[in-house]
């Protein structure tokens, strides 16, 4: 849905929710200068229309013992088109994989993966990812320092 259907109140509401998802309806109503009832109606409409996909808690990977983040480029064997749905299903079920994208360029997929340490990442690459049907090659880059990590989208206005 195009954002031109959103007014400035909707945009303020979405901007606030991106950084304060646990706000109560009363707090949100105060931020956007609406009555709680009007705010709740708008909030529900934004959810129903798909502007808000879900709410989640972002955990600290290092505090959870996951100290390695890697970006992995995956090349699929040519002629394995029938295996792509199977590959996507398997990758989608792997807890180590935080994100997976089909990409253009020299590789077919790019994954963001987390692991406890480098030996764990190596085991994931060799014992799991490389054994998936149709995978021809992988190339990984280990993240040295996280500069910015957000799920907040840039909003107009």
Domain count, the chain: 2
Is there a domain that residue 34 lies in? yes
> Considering the domain boundaries, does residue 150 fall inside one?
no
- What confidence tens digit (pLDDT) does each residue in 126-154 have? 999 999 988 999 999 999 999 999 999 99
Length of the chain in terms of residues written: 157
Q: Are residues 80 and 24 in the same domain?
A: no
Q: Is 90 exceeded by the pLDDT of residue 109?
A: yes
Q: Are residues 25 and 77 in the same domain?
A: no
Tell me: the pLDDT tens digits for 50-80?
Answer: 999 999 999 999 999 999 999 999 999 987 6
Q: Compute the distance between CA of residue 116 and CA of residue 130 in angstroms, rounded to an integer.
A: 19
**One domain, residues 72 and 44:** no
Same domain, 33 and 91: no
Look at residue 3 and tell me whether its pLDDT is greater than 60: no
Strands, sheet with 97-102, edge to edge from the N-terminal-most edge strand: 97-102, 109-115, 68-76, 135-142
CATH of the domain at 32: 1.10.10
pLDDT band at 1 (very low <50, low <70, confident <90, very high): very low
**For residues 109-114, average pLDDT:** 98
Q: 35: domain range?
A: 3-48
Instruction: For residue 59, give the DSSP letter.
Output: P
Is 59 a member of any domain? Answer: no
65 — alpha (psi -120 to 50), left (phi > 0) or beta?
left
42 and 84 share a domain?
no
Residues 39 and 87 in one domain: no
Average pLDDT of the segment spanning 26-43 = 98
Q: Are 85 and 113 in a shared domain?
A: yes
């Amino acid at each position: 849905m195009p954002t031109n259907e959103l007014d400035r109140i909707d945009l303020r509401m979405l901007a606030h929710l991106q950084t304060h998802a646990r706000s109560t309806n009363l707090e949100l109503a105060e931020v956007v200068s609406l009555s709680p009832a009007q705010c709740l109606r708008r909030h529900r409409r934004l959810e129903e229309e798909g502007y808000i996909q879900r709410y989640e808690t972002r955990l600290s990977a290092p505090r959870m013992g996951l100290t390695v983040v890697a970006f992995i480029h995956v090349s699929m064997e040519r002629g394995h088109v029938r295996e792509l749905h199977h590959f996507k299903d398997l990758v989608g079920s792997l807890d180590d994989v935080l994100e997976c994208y089909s990409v253009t360029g020299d590789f077919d997929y790019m994954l963001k993966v987390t692991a406890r340490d480098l030996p764990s990442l190596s085991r994931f690459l060799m014992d799991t990812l490389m054994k998936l049907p149709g995978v021809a090659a992988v190339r990984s880059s280990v993240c040295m320092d996280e500069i910015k990590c957000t799920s907040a989208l840039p909003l107009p206005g």
